[in-house]
Amino acid sequence: MTGSHPTDAGEMLGLVAELRSGLDEAAELINGIVDGIDSVLATLPDGQGDGIRDAVTGFRRMFDDTVTELGRALDRAGDPVALRATGAVWAVDIGGGVSGLAGLATENTTRADNHWTGDAAEAYLDTLLPQRLAITAVTTTGDRIDAVLNELANAIIDFWKNVEAAVITLLAGLVAAGAVATGGLTVVVAVGMAAAALNLFSASVVSQISMFTELGNAISIRTRELVAVRADDTAFPGGRWPSAVATDLNDGSITDGDDTDWHVE
């Protein structure tokens, strides 16, 4: 197995394939170490190699348990490309498309007060602020969703790169252990080296899974916050985009008693 260092999430498939290959290679090395140890133990009187056999059983079980855990993770390794693409839709296609309208919802760009004065002009000018607030809400939410999805994409890549580094270290330790698992005087050393390599590998994988789980929990909290922001209709009265029409002057009645009654001056 050779170390790969993906800088783009699109290389995830290659990284996952490398990891599966590395774990297969580690399994073959362990089988070789165990075969070598068994050959040496077979030459010893009954009972003399029991402690060594127990140690071999222990580190082999540790490897199997760790690989089983990793296998479940590899089956759902994640898709950073899809995460980034979805984030871009929110930030660029949705938020970016709306943000371009912000400059139009200002007193300097509207023509409502170019030819009108008084209540009519003020009524139309009053529609600008709600428009800007709605635009800001959309762009801000889009940017926040994009940030969360990119953070998760980066975390997925970092997680598998760190696991890959742990596998590479494991392979080096197993190769060294296999080299000395050939004689009665060195078999104990081989067992110790293999066990140490597997202990380090298992601890590293557990640590990476724990950190990734913590990040996942933190992102879940941020996701719930975004859901709450999305449900907040402060900038969208009644759950709708604020009207750009001056509805205050829609009422043309004369005698219903409200403050929009028309009258002859």
Per the listing, tokens 């428009």 go with: 131
**How confident is the model at residue 78, as a pLDDT?**
84
Helix-strand-coil split of the chain, %, nearest 5: 75, 0, 25
Per the CB < 8 A criterion, the answer to whether 201 and 170 are in contact is yes
The residues, ordered by sequence, that sit 6+ positions from 196 with a Cβ below 8 Å of its Cβ are 173
Closest residue by Cα to residue 74 from 29, 17, 27, 22: 17
Task: Say whether 209 sits in a helix, a strand or coil.
Answer: helix
The residues, ordered by sequence, that sit 6+ positions from 99 with a Cβ below 8 Å of its Cβ are 135, 138, 139
Torsions phi, psi for 71 (to 5 deg): -60, -40
Q: How many CB atoms lie within 10 A of CB 90?
A: 22
Q: What's this model's pTM, rounded to 2 decimal places? A: 0.72
- What is the residue-level pLDDT of the chain in tens, covering all 265 positions? 544 444 455 578 888 889 999 999 999 999 999 888 888 888 877 777 788 888 888 888 999 999 998 888 888 888 888 888 999 998 888 887 776 665 555 555 555 555 555 555 565 666 666 677 777 777 888 888 898 888 888 888 888 999 999 999 999 999 999 998 876 678 889 999 999 999 999 999 989 888 888 888 888 887 787 777 666 666 666 666 665 555 545 544 445 555 555 444 4
Per the listing, tokens 């494991």 go with: 170
**How confident is the model at residue 238, as a pLDDT?**
63
- The residue type at 75: D
Task: Measure the CA–CA gap between 244 and 129, rounded to whole angstroms.
Answer: 10
Indicate the DSSP class of residue 256. S
Q: What are the residue ranges spanned by the domains of the chain?
A: 11-248
Cα-based distances in Å from 212 to 20, 83, 225, 251:
20, 16, 20, 59
Give buried/exposed letters for 68-87 (b at 16+ CB in 10 A, else e): eebeebbeeebbbeebbebb
**How confident is the model at residue 236, as a pLDDT?**
64
Sign of CA dihedral 169, 174, 179, 183: positive
**How confident is the model at residue 128, as a pLDDT?**
65
